[in-house]
Amino acid sequence: MARISLRNIRHSYVEEPSGEEDWALKSMSVDWADGTACALLGPSGCGKTTLLNIISGLLMPTEGEVLFDDRDVTSIPPDARNIAQVFQFPVVYDTMSVYDNLAFPLRNRGVDKKTIDRRVREIANMLDLEAMLFTRAAGLTADGKQKISLGRGLVRADVNAILFDEPLTVIDPHLKWMLRSKLKELHQQFGATMIYVTHDQTEALTFAEQVIVMHEGAVVQIGTPIELFERPHHTFVGHFIGSPGMNLLPCELDGEHAEFAGHSIRTEHPVRLKTTPDTLQIGVRPEFVKFAESGIEVDVTKVTDIGRHAIVETRSGDNIIRLLLPEGQSAPAGRAHLQFDPKHTQVYADGWIVE
């Protein structure tokens, strides 16, 4: 296992990059402590696979260095980096048995027969593949094949890190949940460095102790699931994480106070800007908005029951403000007033939190 560091990495697929849009990865430096379970979360096209392939060596970055335990591995080929990578779609040898598929990465490294047998059976047991160990992989369903791919990623005990690139895409929802718990369990058991790429916030937040949120080729925030929830550093994190996401409302400044719809809004900190931004917004999650006797005047427009909560949609002028109402409480009809919890109300200048 190793600590992995990226130093000033940039990557472009274009021969001679010029504009910002030519960079699939904008300049970034990231560290993964040895043994972390980390998720890389972001929408399709934000650069997750590019980043993962740079770590594994499938891709040479246009600029910057990749370090394993302070050793520069930027120009070292994938084989020599000692990394296991599980891809979005199954990579299996159809003509081989499940057993031989799982044993392959070990045989390749000259591991002795007894150890191979022990590891293969351990992994097969964990992934519920025991009953089909001696079936040919060709006969398996897409789920089964992807389990083999996962197994091949997990079978070696000596890797620097295991990288998962949206590995549960082809897996059916029930099995997905089970495999995700297994991966987490495995991490706790063996402490391998695991980097898990996904566009699914639930997957990221349940798997990882540290989540890296990416947007348009850039890292916008690195934090624990709680930090991402409570203090999104960027409006993108605010609306991408949470269901529904953070309310973002245009605001003005009166001294160091934010104002929205003629009301002074109390926020976590006084608002002190260094420069004049193009956009200034108040961000507050639906969890931290409540109905009150006084406050922002709204019209209640929609109530959606989602089990333990109801999502209430309200309108103030052109702005929609959503709030979560705990079970058993009912939303007022028509006109109402809203208050925001000041401790969880932030101001964002050009998308970034004002600290």
Compare residues 17 and 223 and give the one whose CB is closer to ligand ADP.
17
**9 touches, from ligand ADP, Mg ion, none (C-beta below 5 to 8 Å by class):** none
By CB under 6 A, tell whether 13 contacts ligand ADP: yes
By CB under 5 A, tell whether 53 contacts Mg ion: no
Footprint on residues 36-95 left by ligand ADP (CB under 6 A): 42, 44-50
- Only one of the segments 15-23, 41-49, 202-210, 257-265 lies at the binding site for Mg ion (rule: CB under 5 A); that segment is 41-49
By CB under 6 A, tell whether 24 contacts ligand ADP: yes
Q: How many CB atoms lie within 10 A of CB 177?
A: 15
Compare residues 54 and 284 and give the one whose CB is closer to Mg ion.
54
By CB under 5 A, tell whether 49 contacts Mg ion: yes
Compare residues 49 and 281 and give the one whose CB is closer to ligand ADP.
49
Tell me the per-residue interface mask from 144 to 163 with ligand ADP, x by CB under 6 A, - otherwise.
--------------------
By CB under 5 A, tell whether 56 contacts Mg ion: no
By CB under 5 A, tell whether 149 contacts Mg ion: no
Q: How many CB atoms lie within 10 A of CB 71?
A: 9
Compare residues 82 and 169 and give the one whose CB is closer to Mg ion.
169
Using CB under 5 A, list all residues that contact Mg ion: 49
Using CB under 6 A, list all residues that contact ligand ADP: 13, 24, 42, 44-50
